[in-house]
Structure 1
Amino acid sequence: MTIAIRPDTADVRARREAALERINGGPSRQKRSGAPKRAKPSRRVVKTSKPAEREVLGPTPGIYYWIGLTVAAFVMLGLVMVLSATSAREVASSETPYDTFMRQSMWAAIGLVGLVIALKVPYHRWRALVIPLAVIAAGLMMLPFVPGVGVTVNDANSWVRFGSFGFQPSEFLKLAAIAFLADHFTRHEHDLHLPRHGLIPLGLVTFGCAGVSFMQGDLGAAIVLTAVSLCVALIAGVPFRHIGAITAVGAMGAMIAVMSSPWRFNRLTAFRDIEGNKEHLAFQSWQGLLSIANGGWTGSGIGGSRSKLGYLPYAHSDFIFAVIADELGFIGSVAVIGGFGLIVWFGVQAALAAPDRFGMLLAGGIACWLGVQAIVNIGGVAGVIPVTGLTLPFFSAGGTSLSVSMVAAGLLLNVARRAITAPRPRRAAKRAGRAHASTRTGRPTRSTARV
């Protein structure tokens, strides 16, 4: 039996040290103190007589548990809020108040299966399926244009329905675009300054995904796809002039599209005067602000919101954050916003400590996706930005959004589980101090005696 170190270990180790220096605010104390370092290999590949290689994982990092606990809490709280937002309305229209809740629970179970599969299979094995999955996701985006298959919901022709089964293809496209760009930028990491490897592929993916979503009337998906694509490119190291050029062209195209339609222009600018447009264009935003104000500090309690009794449209989907603020109050709202902040923060930490470039881009793209989508949804509910009809990840009633978000969380956990960890600076400084004291007194300390 022989032990072989990965061929890219030296490059990964150098990048890890640079990332740790950025996180800790400079070189580690252990390096400044000149204390000897112990070799602690955190990732090995053990070769046996069989042709297959078995991955040996090191200690589980703390970011893995933080992400997992936050996602689990969000999914369970989301199911409770969906039941609270829909039960009263469904009592008057059907025999049971649990229709939407049971459907959301079914999608949560499907998402849990996808999360476990995405977590258990090493993420680098998914690279072989990136291009086929991207092609499938692009093909699914064409289905809403097929007569009899595409369904218009909330003025957006972005849904597909086969009988009683329906889904939204743009949710799959978000994850497929992140994985495709991560794979492409990894394969051409040294040639991203060339337009054929950096600017052109990024422009095709960004404008293609956002353009199709905009043609379907799904402005929220177009915004998220654009932001996520540019975020992955920024992390990968695409030159700023290329990212700036794509951003400028995209902003100009979006402005022309908005100005060409008076209805679309008035709809997007209504948030600037919500009270003046509360009777028509900003009715939903006004009701959302009333729900947030009714919550106070501690909220009205689970099930205590009155705005969901027909006053607030789409209380269970696009505006579920207003119900959260009403029933959980300011404290609950801050907790939900802070939870998304934790996912983004620890997702960035997982990207910085990823063992390879593909894992870094995949984790960074997923963290950016969840963060941007939460900002757009909560900002629209709070009246800070225009309402785009975007769901709140893990909370809004929408099976496709919930299940795909859980799969993305599984991939994020996959990268976090394989993160390369390092000793804490304080512990390293203590070890260095004990070693220095032992050299002065000549007495072996507990740490040096073990060595």
Structure 2
Amino acid sequence: MSSVSLKSAWPAFLDMPAGRLSFDPFLLLSVLALMLTGFVMIASASMDVAARDFGSPYFFIIRHGIFVVMAMMTLAIVSAIPMRLWQQYSVPLLVIGGVSLLLVLVPGIGREVNGARRWISLGFFNLQVSELAKIFMVIYIAGYLVRRLSEVRSTWSGVMKPVLPLSVYVGLLISQPDFGVTVVLMCTVMGMVFLSGMRLFQFIIVLLIGVLMAGLLAVTQPYRVQRLKTFLDPWADPFGAGYQLSQAQIAFGRGEWFGTGLGNSVQKLFYLPEAHTDFIYSILAEELGLVGALIVILLYCFLVYRIFVTGRRAEKQQQFFMGYVCYGFAFIFAGQALINIGVNVGALPTKGLTLPLLSYGGSSLLASAIMIAIVLRIDYELKRATVEGQRGPRRTRKSAGRVEA
């Protein structure tokens, strides 16, 4: 491959002065640390279940290893896409996300698992379309905020217009049903609009409306009401409705300060359902203890912080689309991690949300890789703009010197 074609394919690793990295190393290190921790914990938590259900203890390990490789390839490819293309096609991406959420409800296309229809089968793995829909919604809202920024900051109409596409997405997500992603998406959009400069009293009113809607959605279905009752007292029925929460709390209790040791979990031995997916954090706390659990929380906090830092730099350079995209992705990572960990420790009702970059699941891992790749691309473009701005005055001074000579 020629140097020209290589430069156009992977610009994020080229065209930077010596000694200056073209990507955020701290962001990438936190991502790799979470992914490797997830791989190790999935290997520990899934071997017995895999041996029982598939005849091989390495079934989930091999599959997740393939997902990790796919995620890294996806990260490399997506990081080469210029941000102007994401902004240019934000509306078509929104439509694609809505159509995919609709298709998953069509019998014969959508795949139903445990009473929920959220996946489209792609042969090797099942794609959870809501993971991509979240990304497309963030990109659309970022584009909308750039186009209507003055209107958002001064009028109610500018604040309420994004409610229409968001309502369509929410309706389709509830139909699957996927209450967890619905809450994350609503909070993400509200957070993005608030950071764009909407008035505080408007935000408070919108927040109250959102909380009211979430409450109504929570009590409209009997199984959600049952989850709320179980959340309030999981030990009232520890072998029935409260089984998952009570077993998760036992895992935390067994872990104590430093854990039982990697691979020594008892709860993963068919006591705690979904031990390698939704409740991987409970197994991690049992084997690595409170110290290990807190280190994972710190990694998530650092990851979200680095994304916010990139978004703030984008705003300072007047790149508002890039800034709002970063804020949206930061809210998604923070929201999903907060809800998943909250469910594991018994602070929130049970939701079917994965822990980003750590839980087993190809869709979640690929979606996380796409978001990280876009943030790394934003970081690169901001640094490139800074370097070009520094080169410009130098060229001007050299040219002026030649004319004077």
* TM-score where L is the length of structure 2: 0.85
User: Percent same amino acid at aligned positions?
Assistant: 28
Q: Indicate yes or no: 2:374 matched with 1:414.
A: no
Greater share of helix:
2
Q: Does the CA-based 8 Å contact 2:248-2:279 persist in structure 1?
A: yes
Closer, same or farther in 2 for the Cα pair 1:165/1:56, shift >3 Å? closer
> How far does the alpha carbon of each residue in 1:404-437 deviate from its partner, in whole angstroms, 9 at most, with x for none?
101111112222334469xxxxxxxxxxxxxxxx
Q: Is the 8 A contact 2:16 2:22 kept in 1?
A: no
State how far apart, in whole Å, the 1-side matches of 2:221 and 2:311 are.
41
Q: 1:114-149, CA deviations, whole angstroms, 9 ceiling, x for partnerless residues?
A: 211232333233212222222111111012211122
Equivalent residues of 1:352, 1:360 under 8 A apart: yes
User: What does 1:44-443 correspond to in 2, within 5 Å?
Assistant: 60=20, 64-163=24-123, 165-192=125-152, 193-201=154-162, 203-354=163-314, 355=317, 356-419=319-382
Q: Is 365-374 or 270-279 further displaced after alignment?
A: 270-279
User: How many pairs are equivalent?
Assistant: 368
- C-alpha deviation, 1:297, in angstroms: 1.7
Distance in 1, Cα, partners of 2:123 & 2:374: 31
Q: 1:109 and 1:132 mapped to 2: Cα distance?
A: 29
Preserved contact between residue 262 and residue 288 of structure 2 (Cα < 8 Å): yes
Worse-matched range after superposition: 58-67 or 330-339: 58-67
Q: Deviations over 1:355-410 (max 9, x none)?
A: 31111111111111101110000000000011111100011111000111011111
Residues 260 and 120 (structure 1), Cα distance of their counterparts in 2 relative to 1, 3 Å cut: closer
Deviation at 1:75, TM superposition (A): 1.1
Q: Which letter does structure 2 place at the counterpart of 1:270? A: T
Cα deviation, residue 60, structure 1: 4.4
Per-residue CA deviations over 1:81-120 (Å, capped at 9, x if unaligned) read 1111111222233332121122222222222122112323
In the TM superposition, what is the alpha-carbon distance from 1:221 to its structure 2 partner? Answer: 0.6
Structure 2 CA distance for partners of 1:244 and 1:62, relative to 1, 3 Å: farther
Which AA in structure 2 matches 1:70?
S
Distance 1:252 1:259, change over 3 A: same
- Cα distance in 2 for partners of 1:371, 1:289 equals 22
- Whole-Å separation in 1 of the counterparts to 2:155 and 2:146: 14
How far apart in 1 are the matches of 2:344 and 2:60?
22
TM-score by length of structure 1 reads 0.76
CA distance in 2, matches of 1:128, 1:419: 18
Q: 1:235 to 1:62 in 2, by over 3 A?
A: farther
Runs of 5+ unmatched residues, structure 2: 1-11, 385-405
Once residues 200 and 263 of structure 1 are traced to their aligned partners in structure 2, the CA distance between those partners, rounded to angstroms, is: 32
CA deviation profile, 1:147-204 (whole Å, cap 9, x unmatched): 1222222332222225554111100011111111011101222221334433222x12
The residue aligned with 1:26 is none
CA contact (8 A) 2:98 2:133 kept: yes
- State the Cα deviation string for residues 271-322 of structure 1 (Å, max 9, x = none): 1112113222221011011111111222122211111110000001100001
User: Which of structures 1 and 2 has the bigger CA Rg?
Assistant: 1
Q: Unaligned stretches of 5+ in structure 1?
A: 1-53, 422-451
More deviation in 192-201 or 330-339?
192-201
Whether the 8 Å contact between 2:251 and 2:282 is mirrored in structure 1 is yes
